[in-house]
Structure 1
Amino acid sequence: MGEFEEVIRSLADLAGEEIVDFRDEHHRWHLYQRVINSERADLRDVLYQVIGWEEDDALALTVVLHVLEQVPEVERHAWVDRLRTSESHQYASARSFDIGMLESILQGAVSENALQALQERSDWLQLRLARRSESADVLDELANSGRTKRIKRLAAERLDKLELESILQGAVSENALQALQERSDWLQLRLARRSESADVLDELANSGRTKRIKRLAAERLAKLES
């Protein structure tokens, strides 16, 4: 039994899996998936050894990319170093950096430098921030400068939802009112129907994007004032 087969068999035994043909990358990927999804530290330790022997570079890279999202920052470099080709190593290093940046921004570290750097980062990072960020600055940046139409759309939609929640909770500044003029029909329509703020409704009644929004805002404003 070769060393690669031996470590694969050891991993399969520890995971309680039967691997029919260790030479088949599909069988190996099934085993790797089970290990990754289990999030068991003992299995991940053995997987770390296995990946150094993995003969399929694309498969090894796929495994490492999944694991990088599970392990703490201090362990990521070691996993990247298990990859044997410079191309895979470079790709995984960039992903590791993106994961760190994602974690930092989601924790509230949004500097001007971070916003500028975000313009050059990967679709992977921008897409996850468009879906998960709570920062209006980040979402506005992605809505305007995202790398794809999908990223721009998701960021704009999330920004609208966050602004809706904020305004309905009473956060109505002069800047918010001015920005409202440029926001989407979706946001303006929901505010016209639900806002309790006379300032917001007055703004929409006069400057709403459609006749319907203006009418609904004016009607709701009249009810609040009656």
Structure 2
Amino acid sequence: MGASASDPSPLVLEVARRTGNGTVDPSDGHARWEVYRRAMDSPDEWDALLEIVGREPDPSIAMSVVLRMLERVPEAERTAWAERVPLEEKRSSALLRVRELRILEAARGAAAAERAPASDEVPEWSDWLQRRAAEESVSPEVLELLSQSGRTRRVRHVAAQRLRVLRRTR
């Protein structure tokens, strides 16, 4: 039985060889994940990995790879990664993450104070985005909003702590 155009096995084997995985069984999801993990750490393999993700038979594995890659690739490439997720339901989640990363990056940057979200936007953010913004934002406005209206106690606490530290250092 030959490999079909959608079978990732030949590509998985090529990437495994190039990343030092040696002999790998491409029918084993755990073995494929190890190949993908190594490829994610090697920017030279990202084009091959992008091709493989669209052929990955396990949608959860494909989604895990895409979510990790969205934080590694340049913003201009993120949508292409998200669109490779095979299931529409998971693809829409990946596209949401692309939008959330833009918000998070704005909150991380020095210009974040100029682009602070409106108070009614923060409750609409996902738990992931609220948690990451609370942990990483340098914007007093973002941290203030999260400390007051973050969805979880953890988000409110982390944002309040970081806001206190930020105010002491200014």
TM-score normalized with structure 2 length = 0.90
CA distance in 1, matches of 2:169, 2:117: 28
Instruction: Provide the secondary structure at the position in 2 that maps to 1:119.
Output: helix
Instruction: Provide the secondary structure at the position in 2 that maps to 1:84.
Output: coil
- Alignment-derived partner of residue 123 in structure 2: 119
- 134 and 109 in structure 1: CA distance in 2 versus 1, 3 angstrom threshold: closer
Q: May I ask how many residue pairs the two structures share in their alignment?
A: 164
Runs of 5+ consecutive residues of structure 2 not aligned to the other structure:
none
Q: Which amino acid aligns with 1:154?
A: V
Instruction: Provide the secondary structure at the position in 1 that maps to 2:124.
Output: coil
Q: Which amino acid aligns with 2:103?
A: M
Higher mean C-alpha displacement, 16-25 vs 93-102: 16-25
Structure with higher Rg: it is 1
Deviation at 1:152, TM superposition (A): 0.6
Q: Which amino acid aligns with 2:168?
A: L
Deviation at 1:58, TM superposition (A): 0.6
- 149 and 57 in structure 1: CA distance in 2 versus 1, 3 angstrom threshold: same
CA distance in 1, matches of 2:66, 2:117: 29
- Alignment-derived partner of residue 93 in structure 2: 91
Deviation at 1:36, TM superposition (A): 1.2
CA distance in 2, matches of 1:43, 1:60: 16
Runs of 5+ consecutive residues of structure 1 not aligned to the other structure:
167-226
- Alignment-derived partner of residue 191 in structure 1: none
- 160 and 112 in structure 1: CA distance in 2 versus 1, 3 angstrom threshold: closer
- Alignment-derived partner of residue 74 in structure 1: 76
Aligned 8 A contact 2:16 2:24 in 1: no
- Alignment-derived partner of residue 128 in structure 1: 132
Q: Which amino acid aligns with 1:37?
A: D
Aligned 8 A contact 2:112 2:138 in 1: no
Please tell me whether residue 35 in structure 1 is matched to residue 63 in structure 2: no
Q: Which has the higher contact order (CA 8 A, sep 6+)?
A: 2
- 90 and 61 in structure 1: CA distance in 2 versus 1, 3 angstrom threshold: same
CA distance in 1, matches of 2:92, 2:23: 31
CA distance in 1, matches of 2:131, 2:105: 14
- Alignment-derived partner of residue 148 in structure 1: 152
